[in-house]
Amino acid sequence: MSKMDKVRQFQVKPKIWYGIGSVAKLGQQGYQKVCIVTDEGMVKFGLLKMVTDVLEAAGIEYHVFPDVKPDPSTDIVEKGLTHILMDRPDVLIALGGGSSIDTAKGIIYYTYHFKAMFTDREYIVKPQFIAIPTTAGTGSEVTEYAVITDQKTGTKIPLTDDIMMPDAAILDPKLIESVPAGATAATGLDVLTHAVESYVSTGNNPFSRCYAAKACELVFKSLLPSYENGHDLDSKASMQIASSMAGIAFNSSGLGMAHAIAHGVGAQYHLPHGLACAMVLPYVVAFNGKDERAEYLYKRLLESVGEPQDAGASAAATFVRLIFELCGKLGIPTCLKASKADTDNFAEVRDKLIDRAMADTTLTTNPVQPTRDEMGTVVDMVYAGVGCR
């Protein structure tokens, strides 16, 4: 059976403006009324002002919704929904990290479906949606996915709908120049995890592999310089591009077991998502390496980043070594026990972490579907840091 016997789709969106000063594009599009979804940190560190200065210079009316919190919840989205319905902007700008962009996506999603209760969908006018990330990591600016937390139950609500895909993204390296080195490292390793998991995913395709491979190459080239010198705008810009490329890839192909485990580990121990992914990724690569197709794809990724396969070692094992070496240079712990998290309760929560990982939707496109015992073995490695070096 030919691979081409099945009709598939690959969609490339949104429009992307990138480079130093690209935020100025906001003043050149003829916008009339803008709502900016952001958080207090963007106000405190002057990043909001970089956007509002452009709008004011262009005579564009704007108002700010600054109530975004980490792990955006339904009550914040509902508040933003009321804000949008009352003020009726023609453009919604998300400024910040993944939380701001996910909040804006949730507002877009619920605004659209709220209006659909009262009018035919063809008459609904959705505001233009511009995503301006202030970290190089989530890739949320180029995906149609968001995760909102139910305020009452604490349950994560995954949303996916093409109406949440931004119409445009702005990647201005000046907006990430002040990101602390630790956050630069963690978010950059989130990019690497997106790229690697997308590349070997069972949902991969020729288009997604191109984006994922290039993203991987850019991370190995630019993350360390970006970490070592926050004013290296070329490296910062390269990481922004890598983040978006990895986002485009996984938006099409899906992710894998590293994210399935990292979601639970991050929530349990209050770890930044990128840090959780970094600690999980090498153990998952080692696990997936037993699959012939995955091993072949890891070998192709090594070629993309310009690294030879270690003599006498598999491609997966070589990639594991590269990840550990990069984490070491970035000061990133490679297991939970080595992190600052209080993991004394690991034995008590181990089963819950395994159950959450087994039920996570990202596991469905992992190249190897683990048994529960196999998942437990990998979770134990993530905790103790032994077993795959």
Q: How confident is the model at residue 47 (pLDDT cuts 50, 70, 90)?
A: very high
| Same structural domain, 287 and 265 | yes
Domain boundary pick from 111, 143, 175: 175
Q: How confident is the model at residue 122 (pLDDT cuts 50, 70, 90)?
A: low
pLDDT for res 118 = 60
Give the percent of the chain with pLDDT over 90. Answer: 72
Task: Give the pLDDT confidence of 104-120 residue by residue, as tens digits.
Answer: 999 988 887 766 666 65
| Same structural domain, 200 and 166 | no
pLDDT for res 75 = 85
Q: Is residue 1 part of a domain?
A: no
Alpha carbon separation from 255 to 79, 202, 387 (Å, rounded): 31, 9, 23
Distance CA 195, CA 120 (A): 39
| Same structural domain, 151 and 229 | no
Is the pLDDT reported for residue 123 higher than 70? no
| Same structural domain, 286 and 271 | yes
Q: What is the mean pLDDT of residues 216-241?
A: 96
Domain boundary pick from 175, 202, 233: 175
| Same structural domain, 188 and 333 | yes
Q: How confident is the model at residue 83 (pLDDT cuts 50, 70, 90)?
A: confident
Mean pLDDT across the chain: 91
| Same structural domain, 333 and 191 | yes
| Same structural domain, 270 and 154 | no
| Same structural domain, 219 and 158 | no
pLDDT for res 60 = 95
pTM of the model: 0.92
CATH number of the structural domain spanning residue 346: 1.20.1090.10
Is the pLDDT reported for residue 389 higher than 60? no
Task: Give the pLDDT confidence of 357-381 residue by residue, as tens digits.
Answer: 999 999 999 999 999 999 999 999 9
Place of tokens 């700008």: 93
Look up the domain containing 64 and give its range: 15-175
Over its C-alpha atoms, the chain yields an Rg (Å, rounded) of 21
Q: Is residue 4 part of a domain?
A: no
CATH number of the structural domain spanning residue 136: 3.40.50.1970
| Same structural domain, 156 and 187 | no
Whether residue 326 contacts residue 277, with contact meaning beta carbons closer than 8 Å, is answered with: no
| Same structural domain, 261 and 205 | yes
| Same structural domain, 154 and 200 | no
Q: What is the 3-state secondary structure (H, E, C) of the chain?
A: CCHHHCCCCCCCCCEEEECCCHHHHHHHCCCCEEEEECCHHHHHCCHHHHHHHHHHHCCCEEEEECCCCCCCEHHHHHHHHHHHHHHCCCEEEEEECHHHHHHHHHHHHHHHHHHCCCCCHHHCCCCEEEEEECCCCCCHHHCCEEEEECCCCCCEEEEECHHHCCCEEEECHHHHCCCCHHHHHHHHHHHHHHHHHHHHCCCCCHHHHHHHHHHHHHHHHHHHHHHHCCCCHHHHHHHHHHHHHHHHHHHHHCCCHHHHHHHHHHHHHCCCHHHHHHHHHHHHHHHHCCCHHHHHHHHHHHHHHCCCCCCCCCHHHHHHHHHHHHHHHHCCCCCHHHCCCCCCCHHHHHHHHHHHHHHCHHHHHCCCCCCHHHHHHHHHHHHHCCCCC
Task: Give the pLDDT confidence of 309-357 residue by residue, as tens digits.
Answer: 999 999 999 999 999 999 999 999 999 999 988 998 999 999 999 999 9
Task: Give the pLDDT confidence of 153-193 residue by residue, as tens digits.
Answer: 766 777 888 889 999 999 999 999 999 999 999 999 999 99
Q: Is residue 335 part of a domain?
A: yes
The dihedrals phi and psi of 215, each to the nearest 5 degrees, come to -60, -45
Whether residue 240 contacts residue 142, with contact meaning beta carbons closer than 8 Å, is answered with: no
Domain boundary pick from 121, 143, 175: 175
| Same structural domain, 103 and 131 | yes
